[in-house]
Structure 1
Amino acid sequence: MIELHRVTSQKEKDDAFHVRRVVFIDEQNVPEEIEIDAYDDHSIHLVGYENDKPVAAGRLRFVEGYGKLGRICVTKSCRGRSYGKEMILFMEYIVRKEGFNKTKLNAQIQAEKFYESLGYVTVSEEFMDAGIPHVTMTKSL
């Protein structure tokens, strides 16, 4: 079972960045200078724990009337347990709580069907980001 937190301490932020590092930098070979960017200083960060161990992360920004979901990841050993789905639902809850009613994200092509299952609709052609094919997807809340 996952316990999700909106980051409020340096430890939680470090834990969220650790999960991002493991998934995006170590596993997917995204360069660190692309993964950790200037948006991190002005974003809402989220972290998920399983038995007090950080296993999921996400980042939320507000851009052009959308809650922009990003950097959503789950460590390899914890995939298949619906933690990604729970993270998305938690992020959508925060978006609504902040007064917004639509979300946007850039999904890796391999995760497009997952996001479709949560009500997201593809609104762009395929594009490359950090050497990985992506599409932009939106959802009305």
Structure 2
Amino acid sequence: MFEYVFINMDNPLYQQAVDLRYRIFFRPWNIKQEIIFDSYEDTAIHMICLTGGKVNGYARLNYEGQEAILSQIVVDEECRNQGLGSELVKRLVDKARLDKKDRVTLSAKVEATKFYEKFAFVVTGDSFSSPKTGLPHIKMILQL
């Protein structure tokens, strides 16, 4: 059974979350791990999904005024297609709603737009190259 937990950067499980994000998002493109520590990291609300002490999924949420920014949603390859990513998105959207934000935005990989559309996110604008990886992304928004 998977457990979903909010953590801070002092939590021992935080490093596992960093390692998971790096392994999936950045190492395949030979990008240094330091890229994870961007301007959002220190102020983010970090959520992990774990089982047996192992971090299997992660997502973070940041606030800028009435906007909630969802980012770095990742699930370990061994745990995909079990609803972990969906649960992370749902829980962080619920957190934004609870905190009375007006909208949630994210930058999705173009091929992941259908996943986010299941939660009523809509595409806004044209695709662009991610400044971190160069991969095509597109901005999406969910009005709360």
TM-score, with length taken from structure 2: 0.88
Gaps of 5+ in 1: none
How far is the alpha carbon of 1:68 from its aligned partner? 0.4
In the alignment, is residue 26 of structure 1 matched against residue 27 of structure 2? yes
The 3-state SS of whatever aligns with 1:89 is: helix
Match of 1:100, as an amino acid? K
Count matched residues: 141
- Residues 28-107 of structure 1 mapped to structure 2, 5 A cutoff: 29-107=30-108
Question: Among the aligned pairs, what percent are the same residue?
Answer: 27
The structure with more helix, counted as a fraction of residues: 1
Asked whether the equivalents of residues 110 and 138 of structure 2 are also in contact (C-alpha less than 8 Å), the reply is yes
Match of 1:135, as an amino acid? I
**Match in the other structure for 1:136:** 139
Q: 1:30–1:109: structure 2 CA closer, same or farther, 3 Å change rule? A: farther
Q: 1:28–1:82: structure 2 CA closer, same or farther, 3 Å change rule? A: farther
Q: 1:72–1:15: structure 2 CA closer, same or farther, 3 Å change rule? A: same
Match of 1:134, as an amino acid? H
Distance of 1:45 and 1:100 partners within structure 2: 17
Gaps of 5+ in 2: none
How well do the aligned residues superpose, as a CA RMSD in angstroms? 1.7
